[in-house]
Amino acid sequence: MSIYDTLNPEQKRAVQHDKGPLLLLAGAGSGKTRVLTHRIAYLIEERGVNPWNILAITFTNKAAREMRERVDKIVGYGSENIWVSTFHSTCVRILRRFIDTIGYSRSFTIYDTEDQKTLMRDICKYLHIDTKKINERAILSALSKAKDELISPEDYERSAGGDYIKSRYAKAYIEYQKRLKASNALDFDDLIYKTVELFQKNKEALVYFQNRFRYIMVDEYQDTNTAQFQLVHLLSSGVNEQGEREYNLCVVGDDDQSIYKFRGANIQNILNFEKAFPNTEVIKLEQNYRSTKNILNTANEVICNNIGRKEKSLWTDNEEGEPVHFTQFDNDYEEADAITAEIKRLVESGEANYNDFAILYRTNAQSRLFEEKIVLRDIPYRIIGGQNFYQRKEVKDILAYLKTINNGQDDIAVKRIINVPRRGIGLTTTDRVNDFALQNDISFYEALTMAEHIPTLGRTASKITPFVSLIEGLKSRLNQEGYSLSELIDDILDATGYLRELEKEGSDEAMDRIGNIDELVNKLVAYEENAVEEPTLSGFLEEVALVADIDNLDEENDHIVLMTLHSAKGLEFPYVYICGMEEGIFPGYMALHADNPQEEIEEERRLCYVGITRAMKRLSLSAAKQRMLRGETQFNRPSRFIQEIPRYLLKITTPTPKRFTSSFNNRNSFNRNSLTMGNDIFDKPTPTTYKPYLTPEPRHFEGANMGTLDYDIGDTVKHVKFGEGIVTNITKGGRDYEVTVEFPNYGVKKLLSTFAKLVKVN
């Protein structure tokens, strides 16, 4: 039996399409990676296409690895000549070959987010931009959007007109790009932007890669921005032997899963694909192999409310499955407590393993309560979206040494390590060297090599010379034949004494940092052992720079995963919990009050659709009647996305009442009995800000003649913020009583009676 006989009819049509543009509208869980890998095999085996002429582009390293493994398995011999990589990795490979034709060295450095912030801080200081009024992050965000739209610094400045803020952004943009080039560095947006610039300026480079890549496949096409669209359009615009443009371009995507507008993704790229590429064949992959019928029906019912989409509907041959669960809790503490308790119970009963579970939320801030409850229940977990391994101080320090050795023009890297470990080179000395470098239009490191000739340094120049000698010595060793990268990192650690200082410190934190350095060494050794081409320092730094946090998710480890809905895209779990399903949370407040709320809410609805379709076996949705946000208690009605799900698809459950729960007056509370299969609960407007009870005026105490309290130890009292709790102790002070209260959702609090305004609950 042929491998193509295992495909469904639509998948087979897509695999066998071999000429002209192809748009695959691939719904969640519809086997799109399988289609792409089989299509590559079909082109090679049945159409005689040279593997050298095939390019497959993904958005994440994880997706690229999975596709590479499948391609290698199906294609076998010759598969190593197929480019399977992310947009950014593809552009790096192109730039390493031709970037010298647009004024950069091929050994360029890639700046991460922290490097960008450091550079922008220096620029704001140089341009006298008040960062209290114009934040560095806001400037970097504006610059990123400009690059996504292929707007040059000069064009951006011309468009600023009389807008003061935009004109300051423009000045910063010009200086930012100038300094990046002086440091022979690119940021992530530049990797795409500069590749497009290269192709526009260097026809030879463009024709070379057009001839190289006769067949191009792009995954997750709905997430492309303008720059990525232009890159794909340029690469696929080559002509055949008859001088005709064939556009042998296959893009795979789902407009219903376009959720990265905030990163510059342009949904119009997929919605208008047929206009950009004439004679496009459109094939819909709607059969889902992941989820139950009930989960898919729920997803379809939600997403059909969007107007800006291509018509399609997921279906499956899988079982009907459980109804989707929806629970509305009294507050966010109960929500976190109940979900983590249920996970613990399911695992202890043998029904599931921890790695079967994912808790998804709209914002990172929602993870705190879950993390607290998880720790209390001793549940193994991992939060996706925490600090990336490569952003830890000790790791960045060692990487900065490697970057300096690889590219001395990288001012950010050199400045980071000039006094790490301490060499007595302070900020004043660094500023004087930096001023000299700017005045003479040279790099910071080059200025360091001339320290003895910088008049403002005086005797501190002698402290700089050993650092320069260290770097030059390591550079010369790297050029020796047979000298490995693992030897280089060992020499850095030995020569700098970095590890010795941490060992001397001896604290738990220092031991953790040593462990992180050891892990970096492991990574470098693994790179040397597994590199397809000859391992180089540039290659290692490039691989590290392109790693995303989600790429490190080990799905085999037995722990639950907590992450935002954005991070969950591309993943699947048997059990999925989506929490915080409330108006103002999801969809968020910003979407509800945007200039174009319809467009923003449709993006939020797509995000909800993505979350729902992550679930394979069971999906649980939850909301809270009250939630603490920015120090204030808010009351939000259930999300409109819950209302869009027909009641026959939902199993609505009422949480088990706790001994102590916050009770509110009738006009500010939901009626627990209304949480039924009807629609009552969804139709009742509720206040969005907390209004406390009116309480008696505080008693006045004078010295020892303090008045009596109307509650005693053991009584249940109510606090305006913490709800109800039990008084466990009362102590007389000089002018007030100190009341100790145990609140079920907030723990033990010690309060002064005058200010606490506690009211006894009868």
Report the greatest alpha carbon distance in the chain: 104
CA distance 59 to 385: 17
Question: Are residues 221 and 269 in contact, defined by beta-carbon separation less than 8 angstroms?
Answer: yes
Report the DSSP beta bridge partners of residue 719: 723
614 a catalytic residue = yes
- Ranges of beta strands (E only) in 388-434 are none
For residue 366, give the 3-state DSSP assignment. Answer: helix
Question: Are residues 662 and 626 in contact, defined by beta-carbon separation less than 8 angstroms?
Answer: yes
Secondary structure letter of residue 360 according to DSSP: E
158 a catalytic residue = no
| CA atoms 52, 54, 55, 58: torsion sign | negative
Question: Looking at this protein, which amino acid is placed at residue 233?
Answer: H
CA dihedral 553, 555, 556, 559 (to 10 degrees): 80
Angle between helices 113-126 and 164-182 in degrees, nearest 10? 120
Q: Which of 37, 60, 226, 257 is catalytic?
A: 257
| CA atoms 154, 159, 163, 165: torsion sign | negative
For residue 536, give the 3-state DSSP assignment. Answer: coil
CA distance 312 to 159: 40
Tokens, residue 647: 């009641």
CA distance 334 to 744: 10
Question: Are residues 550 and 96 in contact, defined by beta-carbon separation less than 8 angstroms?
Answer: no
Q: Which of 220, 582, 583, 600 is catalytic?
A: 220
558 a catalytic residue = no
Q: Which of 115, 136, 219, 223 is catalytic?
A: 219
Compute the 3-state secondary structure of the chain and give helix, strand, coil in percent, each to the nearest 5.
Answer: 50, 15, 35
Task: Kindly give, in sequence order, each residue whose CB lies less than 8 Å from that of residue 528, ignoring residues fewer than 6 positions away.
Answer: 484, 485, 486, 535
CA distance 607 to 604: 5
Residue 615's region, left for phi above 0, alpha for psi from -120 to 50, else beta, is beta
- Number of neighbours of residue 66 by Cβ within 10 angstroms: 16
- Number of neighbours of residue 279 by Cβ within 10 angstroms: 10
Please provide residue 220's backbone torsions phi and psi, each rounded to the nearest 5 degrees. 50, 45
290 a catalytic residue = no
429 a catalytic residue = no
220 a catalytic residue = yes
Task: Kindly give, in sequence order, each residue whose CB lies less than 8 Å from that of residue 362, ignoring residues fewer than 6 positions away.
Answer: 564, 565, 580, 585, 586, 588, 607
Mind telling me the catalytic residues? 32-33, 219-220, 257, 614
